[in-house]
Chain A
Amino acid sequence: MDAASSISSEKSRIASRRPLQDVGSRPYIPSLLTSSRNPSSSRQYGDRFIPDRSSMDFDMAYYLLTEPRKEKENMAVASPSKEAYRKLLADTLLSNRSRILSFKSKPPAPSEGICNEFSSNVTSAAQTKPARQRRYIPQSAERTLDAPDLVDDYYLNLLDWGSSNVLSIALGNTVYLWDASSGSTSELVTVDDDSGPVTSVSWAPDGRHIAVGLNSSDIQLWDSSSNHLLRTLRGVHQSRVGSLAWNNNILTTGGMDGAIVNNDVRIRSHIVQTYRGHHQEVCGLKWQGSGHQLASGGNDNLLHIWDLSMGSSSNLAHNQNQWLHRFEDHMAAVKALAWCPFQSNLLASGGGGGDRCIKFWNTHTGACLNSVDTGSQVCSLLWNKNERELLSSHGFTQNQLTLWKYPSMVKISELTGHTSRVLFMAQSPDGCTVASAAGDETLRFWNVFGNPETPKPAAKSASLGPFASFNHIR
């Protein structure tokens, strides 16, 4: 490689080439590396390093080398929005120059026969510790609580974990609160037999107010700090209210009658919008993080995406094309829904026993990005807030929780313990712990999403600070 002789022509060619992807985001100087290590003395396979100048991008290397220093100098003046823009720009310019594709169906793994050739202690060590460099994922539940009389009904939503770190769970006619920081349990309300059982619970974003949907079609709003019933929303639905979702002061309710209703809890005539599209029970309901889009799944195997501004007021109910997208790909009821925390228009949805698929949607374009057959009913889905991972909970046959890497959908871990289908999951406010409630009437806590030191302290102080309650004007 005689680079010196034709340096000028070489350089102009290099500029148009792509960087060697292995170099990645850190500067890589081959000559320094080879000289820092004495090949003759240290290693048996101390082979030569032949720098591949033609596939290196020197402009890029220079940028990557000098950028960290410049960054330090500019640290004080850069505003957060500028910083975000710069990151985005760097992302698209530096690493996303090409698209990397791989086959969906992976080649078959070598048969067990070949594994026997390797010493057995190597393989067993590798199996007990599936991720050496990744974080350790405990395989058993951190804590198990009894949940007697938990209604084993796929279409309900009986578990939620609020931003004030209090977990709410409905057991029969009673809603219990479990304070995760102190471990104490209290009873919020027991409804009478005429209106019970409780069919859904959902914390408002403030972590103080809680909405309770009932079998009688009523919805109650409670203040959890004073155990006080604030108001009851009546006449919203014809039958039981199985799903609830908050979007600021809007409480969206989904009923067995197939209607989805936006209720503004501040005003007297609370019904502000109605979305019509489902003709059977609405069992999954989730607002996008930004609050612009609502995903709803029903027992009619449909998944709808609604726009906040697109619902009709209740007297113009017969407009049929109100949904932004209608997905008919699931073959069973769609209950498990989860909006991706790091990609705003990415939705994961899971189908029931006849479908068993997790599907990924771009709700902006309406494209199905991926579909994975899990082999079991998908009851619930949660994204990891800290890593690109998805957790799904399943029913027959293993009643397990499965942790998937996104987007490769490689199974990272399977957590077993529940002896009946894992109906509901909820994530702690710090995003690290997951609570799961199953038909076996237990509530289990899994430390599946990593250690609690990763989340941003800013978010914590905002919700737990002494003056947090003064931020809400009601």
Chain B
Amino acid sequence: MASRTISKDIITLKGSAAIVGEFFGYAANSILYNRGVYPEESFAKVKKYGLTMLLTQDDGVKSFIASLTSQLSEWLESGKLQRVVLVIMSKATSEVLERWNFNIETDAEVVEKGVIREKSDKEIMREIQAIMRQIASCITYLPCLDEPCVFDVLAYTDKDVAVPFTWIESDAKLIQNPQMVKLHSFDTKIHKVDTLVSYKNDEWDEQ
């Protein structure tokens, strides 16, 4: 983010990757809080994006998200990250209940030639804010998670990415016949992030 202090409207690849990486960190925290994956008491309030965001204080979760965002930023800088998915699964059965999909489109020209784009800081923050508000409001229509849940994060990368030592290949953890709701997207002019939540369809009880 250092590059953005030089001139307010110029965005470099590195800066963009930092913004997007940071966004994932806050988004993941927000989802974990709002969906009640971890107890409410384990979160603390911070000001961010002009909103009050909640960040986990649990050391295990904290370090997981920290190492996640640093790896994601690295991939974002090389333009090899296609998608990040936060999966919420039932703790007992490992059944996938929700998938929070963040589709990423990278401007190939920027990665290859190092072109610099312009977009005001404020505008990006406003777009991110809109997504964060939407995540918080999702509880109104998502089915209740009435059993203990765990989460995992999947990263979809290009085929040619060398798998880092701490990562392993995973299956897609798909939901059969999901409901999908598209949320807002944001764009740093280098990375465009589309958000979509898919969740398990309730059984058709009465027809």
State whether A24 touches B152 (Cβ < 8 A). Answer: no
State whether B150 touches A101 (Cβ < 8 A). Answer: no
Give B160-186 as 1s and 0s: 1 = Cβ < 8 Å from A's Cβ atoms: 010100111111101110111110000
State whether A126 touches B90 (Cβ < 8 A). Answer: yes
Question: How near does chain B come to A46, taking the closest CB pair, in angstroms?
Answer: 9
CA distance A42 to B171 in the complex (A): 34
Stretch with Cβ within 8 A of A (4 or more), from B1-9, B57-65, B110-118: B57-65
For residue A6, CB closer than 8 A to chain B, the reply is no
State whether B159 touches A99 (Cβ < 8 A). Answer: yes
Identify B150's interface contact among A52, A99, A106, CB under 8 A.
Answer: A106
Interface pairs (9), CB distance under 8 Å: A18-B83, A24-B176, A49-B179, A49-B181, A52-B182, A102-B155, A108-B60, A110-B148, A126-B90
Residue numbers in A under 8 Å from B155 (CB-CB): 100-102
For residue A407, CB closer than 8 A to chain B, the reply is yes
Question: How near does chain A come to B4, taking the closest CB pair, in angstroms?
Answer: 28
Q: How many residues of B are counted as interface, with CB atoms below 8 angstroms from the partner's CB atoms?
A: 63
For residue B52, CB closer than 8 A to chain A, the reply is no
Instruction: Give residues 34-82 of B contacting A (CB, 8 Å).
Output: 36-39, 58, 60-61, 64-65, 67-68, 82
Shortest Cβ distance from B158 into A: residue = A98
Residue numbers in A under 8 Å from B204 (CB-CB): 37, 42
For residue B109, CB closer than 8 A to chain A, the reply is no
Residue numbers in A under 8 Å from B152 (CB-CB): 102-103, 106-107
State whether A52 touches B196 (Cβ < 8 A). Answer: yes
CA distance A21 to B82 in the complex (A): 12
State whether A22 touches B166 (Cβ < 8 A). Answer: no
Q: Contacts A42-B206, A43-B202, A99-B159 given; indicate if A104 touches B166 (C-beta within 8 A).
A: yes
Question: How near does chain B come to A474, taking the closest CB pair, in angstroms?
Answer: 45
For residue A111, CB closer than 8 A to chain B, the reply is yes
Identify A126's interface contact among B58, B83, B93, B168, CB under 8 A.
Answer: B93
Residue numbers in A under 8 Å from B90 (CB-CB): 126
For residue A40, CB closer than 8 A to chain B, the reply is no
State whether A103 touches B196 (Cβ < 8 A). Answer: no
Residue numbers in B under 8 Å from A97 (CB-CB): 159
Shortest Cβ distance from B150 into A: residue = A109
Please report whether the interface of chain A is mostly helix, strand, loop or mixed according to DSSP. loop
Question: How near does chain A come to B74, taking the closest CB pair, in angstroms?
Answer: 12
State whether A102 touches B154 (Cβ < 8 A). Answer: yes
CA distance A113 to B166 in the complex (A): 29
Give A35-65 as 1s and 0s: 1 = Cβ < 8 Å from B's Cβ atoms: 0010000110101011110110000000000
Closest 9 CB pairs of A and B: A126-B92, A108-B60, A102-B170, A107-B64, A47-B141, A52-B182, A98-B156, A101-B167, A114-B39
Residue numbers in B under 8 Å from A370 (CB-CB): 168
Q: How many residues of A are counted as interface, with CB atoms below 8 angstroms from the partner's CB atoms?
A: 48
Give A120-134 as 1s and 0s: 1 = Cβ < 8 Å from B's Cβ atoms: 001100110011110
Residue numbers in A under 8 Å from B170 (CB-CB): 100-102, 407-408
Identify B194's interface contact among A49, A55, A107, CB under 8 A.
Answer: A55
Give B130-168 as 1s and 0s: 1 = Cβ < 8 Å from A's Cβ atoms: 000000000001110011111111111111010100111
State whether B147 touches A123 (Cβ < 8 A). Answer: yes
State whether A123 touches B60 (Cβ < 8 A). Answer: no
State whether A22 touches B198 (Cβ < 8 A). Answer: yes
Identify B143's interface contact among A22, A45, A96, A126, CB under 8 A.
Answer: A45
Give A74-110 as 1s and 0s: 1 = Cβ < 8 Å from B's Cβ atoms: 0000000000000000000000111111111111111
Residue numbers in A under 8 Å from B154 (CB-CB): 100-102
State whether A42 touches B168 (Cβ < 8 A). Answer: no
Instruction: Give residues 404-448 of A contacting B (CB, 8 Å).
Output: 407-408, 410
Q: Contacts A50-B181, A55-B194, A110-B38 given; indicate if A103 touches B167 (C-beta within 8 A).
A: yes
State whether A109 touches B196 (Cβ < 8 A). Answer: no
For residue A118, CB closer than 8 A to chain B, the reply is yes
State whether B153 touches A102 (Cβ < 8 A). Answer: yes
- Apart from the given pairs A21-B172, A110-B150, A131-B93, 16 other A-B contacts in the complex at a CB distance below 8 Å: A18-B83, A21-B174, A22-B99, A42-B206, A45-B142, A52-B196, A98-B82, A98-B159, A99-B163, A101-B163, A102-B155, A103-B152, A103-B167, A110-B39, A123-B92, A130-B93
Question: How near does chain A come to B97, taking the closest CB pair, in angstroms?
Answer: 13
Question: How near does chain B come to A82, taking the closest CB pair, in angstroms?
Answer: 26
Question: How near does chain B come to A342, taking the closest CB pair, in angstroms?
Answer: 14
State whether A104 touches B168 (Cβ < 8 A). Answer: yes
State whether A101 touches B157 (Cβ < 8 A). Answer: yes
For residue A308, CB closer than 8 A to chain B, the reply is no
CA distance A359 to B181 in the complex (A): 40
State whether A407 touches B169 (Cβ < 8 A). Answer: yes
Shortest Cβ distance from A133 into B: residue = B95
CA distance A107 to B42 in the complex (A): 14
Identify B169's interface contact among A99, A110, A113, A115, CB under 8 A.
Answer: A99
State whether B92 touches A47 (Cβ < 8 A). Answer: no
Instruction: Give residues 131-145 of A contacting B (CB, 8 Å).
Output: 131-133
State whether B64 touches A99 (Cβ < 8 A). Answer: no
Residue numbers in B under 8 Å from A49 (CB-CB): 179-181
State whether B38 touches A99 (Cβ < 8 A). Answer: no
Residue numbers in B under 8 Å from A24 (CB-CB): 174, 176
Residue numbers in B under 8 Å from A118 (CB-CB): 146-148
For residue B91, CB closer than 8 A to chain A, the reply is yes
Residue numbers in A under 8 Å from B129 (CB-CB): none
CA distance A21 to B141 in the complex (A): 23
State whether B61 touches A132 (Cβ < 8 A). Answer: no
CA distance A103 to B167 in the complex (A): 4
Q: Contacts A98-B83, A99-B169, A114-B39 given; indicate if A55 touches B148 (C-beta within 8 A).
A: no
Shortest Cβ distance from B167 into A: residue = A101
Question: How near does chain A come to B87, taking the closest CB pair, in angstroms?
Answer: 9
Shortest Cβ distance from A42 into B: residue = B206
State whether A108 touches B58 (Cβ < 8 A). Answer: yes
State whether B148 touches A115 (Cβ < 8 A). Answer: yes
CA distance A105 to B99 in the complex (A): 19
Residue numbers in B under 8 Å from A99 (CB-CB): 156-159, 161, 163, 169
Q: Contacts A100-B155, A408-B171 given; indicate if A126 touches B206 (C-beta within 8 A).
A: no
Residue numbers in B under 8 Å from A106 (CB-CB): 64, 150, 152
